[in-house]
Chains A and B, each alone.
Chain A
Amino acid sequence: MKAILTVLGKDKAGIIATVATILAQNNINIEDISQTVMQGYFTMIMLVNLENSKIGFGELQEVVAKKGEEIGVKIMVQHEDIFNSMHRV
């Protein structure tokens, strides 16, 4: 399954590295990535593929949410279908 991972928060060094490390450790592939910084507010969106993931969806959510709290940003993972169904006919 594919999911959208979003990071929202104040910009600082190492956010992408932190997230990418967690994903790499769990064999989760990043298929697309985009980011912007607007007035110091950081937004990153990743499309990730959990097909060969070592951990389940729920566990990934917990791990990244916890890491987000540590570094002061909000990290969410949502099934991509929510976006597909809302924005595509």
Chain B
Amino acid sequence: MKNIIEIENLHFSYPADEGEKPVEVLKGINLEIKEGEFMAVLGHNGSGKSTLAKHINGILIPTSGTVTVDGISTADEEKIFDLRCRAGMVFQNPDNQIVSSVVEEDVAFALENLGVPYEEMRKRVDNALKDVNMYDYRHHSPAQLSGGQKQRIAIAGIIAMKPKCIILDEPTAMLDPQGRKEVMAVIRRMNREHGITIVLITHYMDEAAQCDRVVVMDKGNIILDDTPRAVFSHVEQVKEIGLDVPQATELAWELRKAGYDVPQDIITEDECAEAIKRLFERE
């Protein structure tokens, strides 16, 4: 598989006030993301994960190093809109990214900006709304929708651009459990059915466990980069930087510490239940 996102030796510091030393937020990130990959980025507050996300579609430009998406460098100002069509971004607060007071017009916003002709726009908006299961709400006002529904509208607005990859910056952080489930289901489907590369920034471990690959960041560096199973088997290292592991992993880890023989790479509840069942059978 081809790499869709290539990040090479990325350093970034926010411009500092006069007399102050700039604080380096990203300290030499190297990362390659393959087409169709479903990747999670984990990290504590201030680990630089949101800053990294903003580099992928050119909202922030590296202080040094390069970020390339589908062959376009994010520093290339002339191709910035091309880049943003290829790498769409969804933010945490659904309220603050919906522009219009009518659902379908909000989904069309990006297409309107790009000057897509009416017939094509109508088709893409309808399809995007169907993709996120919100077609029946197309004439509603966003104010009438739940958080999860609003976030799905925000995702539809991005899907309508037909991006190759979508970066989601903690899209479920402000939602209730039901909304989280709906949004995660939509994201997973986009990845499986449409082959869209997903970069999911999250601090929910169970969401990260559903991904193909997990990158853990701490203080501007990538410290772990592997499958969720492998990453979460480093329970102590993950806990050291202030993150949790999925509850099932934690239980298995505690059992191992207490001297029981359970496998190290448990990440789902079913696996955990199975391991405990086997323990009992052996007793």
A binds B: no
Residues on A lying within 8 angstroms of B by beta carbon are: none
Residues on B lying within 8 angstroms of A by beta carbon are: none
